Chain A
Amino acid sequence: RKEVEQDPGPFNVPEGATVAFNCTYSNSASQSFFWYRQDCRKEPKLLMSVYSSGNEDGRFTAQLNRASQYISLLIRDSKLSDSATYLCVVPHRSNDYKLSFGAGTTVTVRA
Protein backbone atom coordinates (compact mmCIF):
# COMPACT_ATOMS: atom_id res chain seq x y z
CA ARG A 1 0.00 0.00 0.00
CA LYS A 2 1.31 3.45 -0.85
CA GLU A 3 2.13 5.79 2.04
CA VAL A 4 -0.30 8.41 0.74
CA GLU A 5 -2.95 8.06 -1.94
CA GLN A 6 -5.09 10.74 -3.49
CA ASP A 7 -7.78 10.86 -6.11
CA PRO A 8 -5.94 12.56 -8.98
CA GLY A 9 -9.09 14.22 -10.32
CA PRO A 10 -9.38 16.46 -12.16
CA PHE A 11 -12.25 18.04 -10.29
CA ASN A 12 -13.84 20.61 -12.56
CA VAL A 13 -16.22 22.84 -10.65
CA PRO A 14 -18.02 26.14 -11.32
CA GLU A 15 -17.16 29.25 -9.37
CA GLY A 16 -18.99 29.33 -6.08
CA ALA A 17 -19.34 25.57 -5.81
CA THR A 18 -18.07 23.38 -2.99
CA VAL A 19 -15.51 20.72 -3.78
CA ALA A 20 -14.09 18.06 -1.49
CA PHE A 21 -11.58 15.30 -1.95
CA ASN A 22 -9.82 12.75 0.20
CA CYS A 23 -6.38 11.50 0.97
CA THR A 24 -5.77 8.06 2.49
CA TYR A 25 -2.60 7.31 4.42
CA SER A 26 -0.94 4.18 5.75
CA ASN A 27 0.99 5.57 8.74
CA SER A 28 -1.54 4.94 11.51
CA ALA A 29 0.83 6.52 14.05
CA SER A 30 1.00 9.88 12.31
CA GLN A 31 0.07 12.84 14.47
CA SER A 32 0.32 15.50 11.81
CA PHE A 33 -0.94 16.02 8.30
CA PHE A 34 -0.42 18.78 5.80
CA TRP A 35 -2.17 20.08 2.73
CA TYR A 36 -0.09 22.00 0.20
CA ARG A 37 -1.27 23.67 -2.96
CA GLN A 38 0.92 23.79 -6.03
CA ASP A 39 0.30 25.95 -9.04
CA CYS A 40 1.64 24.92 -12.43
CA ARG A 41 5.43 25.24 -12.54
CA LYS A 42 5.55 26.76 -9.04
CA GLU A 43 6.64 25.50 -5.66
CA PRO A 44 4.30 23.80 -3.18
CA LYS A 45 2.85 26.24 -0.67
CA LEU A 46 1.58 25.19 2.73
CA LEU A 47 -2.18 25.55 2.84
CA MET A 48 -3.07 23.92 6.13
CA SER A 49 -1.65 21.81 8.93
CA VAL A 50 -3.78 19.33 10.84
CA TYR A 51 -2.71 18.05 14.24
CA SER A 52 -6.03 16.96 15.73
CA SER A 53 -9.41 16.14 14.27
CA GLY A 54 -9.40 18.91 11.75
CA ASN A 55 -8.69 22.50 10.91
CA GLU A 56 -10.51 25.36 9.26
CA ASP A 57 -9.11 28.44 7.58
CA GLY A 58 -11.63 30.63 5.83
CA ARG A 59 -13.15 28.69 2.96
CA PHE A 60 -10.91 25.69 3.52
CA THR A 61 -11.70 22.87 5.95
CA ALA A 62 -9.66 19.77 6.61
CA GLN A 63 -11.23 16.83 8.44
CA LEU A 64 -9.29 13.88 9.81
CA ASN A 65 -10.79 10.43 10.16
CA ARG A 66 -8.28 8.37 12.11
CA ALA A 67 -10.38 5.22 12.19
CA SER A 68 -10.47 5.04 8.40
CA GLN A 69 -7.10 6.71 7.94
CA TYR A 70 -8.09 9.47 5.63
CA ILE A 71 -8.04 13.22 5.62
CA SER A 72 -10.29 15.35 3.49
CA LEU A 73 -10.04 18.88 2.17
CA LEU A 74 -13.18 20.87 1.46
CA ILE A 75 -13.19 24.14 -0.40
CA ARG A 76 -16.33 26.26 -0.10
CA ASP A 77 -17.36 29.06 -2.45
CA SER A 78 -14.66 28.14 -4.97
CA LYS A 79 -12.74 30.93 -6.65
CA LEU A 80 -10.94 30.84 -9.97
CA SER A 81 -7.72 31.30 -8.00
CA ASP A 82 -8.32 27.99 -6.20
CA SER A 83 -7.40 26.16 -9.41
CA ALA A 84 -4.28 24.21 -8.48
CA THR A 85 -2.98 20.79 -7.53
CA TYR A 86 -3.50 19.96 -3.87
CA LEU A 87 -0.86 17.75 -2.30
CA CYS A 88 -1.54 15.68 0.80
CA VAL A 89 1.58 15.20 2.93
CA VAL A 90 2.08 12.83 5.85
CA PRO A 91 5.22 11.94 7.83
CA HIS A 92 6.74 8.69 6.60
CA ARG A 93 5.94 5.53 8.53
CA SER A 94 9.56 4.49 9.03
CA ASN A 95 11.18 7.88 9.47
CA ASP A 96 9.35 11.06 10.37
CA TYR A 97 12.23 13.18 9.07
CA LYS A 98 10.76 12.26 5.72
CA LEU A 99 7.49 13.52 4.36
CA SER A 100 5.43 11.32 2.09
CA PHE A 101 3.67 13.22 -0.67
CA GLY A 102 0.52 12.11 -2.38
CA ALA A 103 0.44 12.41 -6.15
CA GLY A 104 -1.89 15.39 -5.87
CA THR A 105 -5.50 16.21 -6.70
CA THR A 106 -6.07 18.66 -9.53
CA VAL A 107 -8.88 21.17 -9.09
CA THR A 108 -10.03 23.44 -11.89
CA VAL A 109 -12.56 26.16 -11.08
CA ARG A 110 -14.34 27.53 -14.13
CA ALA A 111 -16.13 30.84 -14.54
Chain B
Amino acid sequence: KAGVTQTPRYLIKTRGQQVTLSCSPISGHRSVSWYQQTPGQGLQFLFEYFSETQRNKGNFPGRFSGRQFSNSRSEMNVSTLELGDSALYLCASSGTIPYTQYFGPGTRLTVL
Protein backbone atom coordinates (compact mmCIF):
# COMPACT_ATOMS: atom_id res chain seq x y z
CA LYS B 1 0.00 0.00 0.00
CA ALA B 2 1.26 3.46 -0.84
CA GLY B 3 1.86 5.71 2.13
CA VAL B 4 0.56 9.17 2.88
CA THR B 5 1.72 11.69 0.31
CA GLN B 6 1.96 15.43 0.75
CA THR B 7 2.53 18.14 -1.81
CA PRO B 8 4.44 20.28 -2.17
CA ARG B 9 7.36 19.16 -0.04
CA TYR B 10 8.84 22.63 0.26
CA LEU B 11 7.28 26.04 -0.01
CA ILE B 12 8.54 29.58 0.42
CA LYS B 13 6.05 32.40 0.85
CA THR B 14 6.10 35.98 2.05
CA ARG B 15 4.11 37.51 4.87
CA GLY B 16 0.52 38.25 3.99
CA GLN B 17 0.27 35.62 1.28
CA GLN B 18 -1.86 32.53 1.54
CA VAL B 19 -0.90 28.91 0.97
CA THR B 20 -2.65 25.62 0.26
CA LEU B 21 -1.14 22.28 1.18
CA SER B 22 -2.37 18.94 -0.07
CA CYS B 23 -2.50 15.49 1.48
CA SER B 24 -3.46 12.13 -0.02
CA PRO B 25 -4.15 9.49 2.66
CA ILE B 26 -3.43 5.80 2.53
CA SER B 27 -5.98 4.07 0.33
CA GLY B 28 -9.05 3.16 2.37
CA HIS B 29 -8.31 5.60 5.18
CA ARG B 30 -11.11 8.08 5.73
CA SER B 31 -9.60 10.16 8.53
CA VAL B 32 -7.02 12.84 7.84
CA SER B 33 -5.39 14.93 10.56
CA TRP B 34 -3.11 17.90 10.21
CA TYR B 35 -0.29 18.91 12.56
CA GLN B 36 2.10 21.80 12.78
CA GLN B 37 5.59 20.91 13.96
CA THR B 38 8.09 23.50 15.12
CA PRO B 39 11.33 22.96 17.07
CA GLY B 40 10.01 24.54 20.22
CA GLN B 41 6.40 23.37 20.17
CA GLY B 42 6.49 19.76 19.08
CA LEU B 43 3.46 18.36 17.28
CA GLN B 44 0.55 20.76 17.47
CA PHE B 45 -2.82 19.39 16.36
CA LEU B 46 -4.61 21.56 13.80
CA PHE B 47 -7.73 19.62 12.81
CA GLU B 48 -9.07 16.28 11.69
CA TYR B 49 -11.44 15.47 8.88
CA PHE B 50 -13.52 12.36 8.44
CA SER B 51 -15.85 11.77 5.51
CA GLU B 52 -15.57 15.41 4.43
CA THR B 53 -16.53 16.72 7.89
CA GLN B 54 -14.28 18.36 10.45
CA ARG B 55 -14.42 16.04 13.45
CA ASN B 56 -11.83 17.60 15.75
CA LYS B 57 -10.19 20.98 15.95
CA GLY B 58 -7.10 22.29 17.72
CA ASN B 59 -6.41 25.74 19.11
CA PHE B 60 -5.30 27.59 16.03
CA PRO B 61 -6.66 30.88 14.68
CA GLY B 62 -9.23 30.98 11.92
CA ARG B 63 -6.49 31.72 9.38
CA PHE B 64 -5.91 27.97 9.39
CA SER B 65 -8.61 26.03 7.62
CA GLY B 66 -9.01 22.75 5.86
CA ARG B 67 -11.31 20.59 3.87
CA GLN B 68 -11.64 17.02 2.74
CA PHE B 69 -12.89 15.74 -0.57
CA SER B 70 -15.05 12.72 -1.32
CA ASN B 71 -11.95 10.67 -2.20
CA SER B 72 -10.55 11.45 1.31
CA ARG B 73 -7.83 13.72 -0.04
CA SER B 74 -7.46 16.79 2.13
CA GLU B 75 -6.17 20.30 1.80
CA MET B 76 -5.27 22.85 4.41
CA ASN B 77 -5.10 26.54 3.79
CA VAL B 78 -3.34 29.27 5.72
CA SER B 79 -4.32 32.82 4.90
CA THR B 80 -2.47 36.02 5.70
CA LEU B 81 0.77 34.21 6.48
CA GLU B 82 2.86 35.33 9.43
CA LEU B 83 6.55 34.66 10.12
CA GLY B 84 5.53 32.36 12.96
CA ASP B 85 3.72 30.07 10.54
CA SER B 86 7.07 28.77 9.33
CA ALA B 87 6.96 25.09 10.25
CA LEU B 88 6.75 21.53 9.04
CA TYR B 89 3.12 20.72 8.32
CA LEU B 90 2.33 17.06 8.71
CA CYS B 91 -0.65 15.15 7.52
CA ALA B 92 -1.63 11.82 9.05
CA SER B 93 -4.27 9.34 7.98
CA SER B 94 -5.92 6.61 9.98
CA GLY B 95 -8.22 3.76 9.17
CA THR B 96 -10.12 1.49 11.48
CA ILE B 97 -9.58 0.63 15.13
CA PRO B 98 -7.05 1.23 16.52
CA TYR B 99 -6.98 4.72 15.13
CA THR B 100 -3.25 4.60 14.59
CA GLN B 101 -2.01 7.59 12.67
CA TYR B 102 0.29 7.18 9.68
CA PHE B 103 2.19 10.31 8.81
CA GLY B 104 3.27 11.74 5.51
CA PRO B 105 6.71 13.30 4.95
CA GLY B 106 5.40 16.80 5.59
CA THR B 107 5.49 20.12 3.80
CA ARG B 108 8.21 22.49 4.94
CA LEU B 109 6.75 26.02 4.83
CA THR B 110 9.05 29.00 5.14
CA VAL B 111 7.51 32.45 5.51
CA LEU B 112 9.81 35.37 4.72
Chain B associates with chain A: no
Query: A-side interface residues toward B, CB under 8 Å?
Result: none
- Point out residues on B near A: beta carbons under 8 Å: none
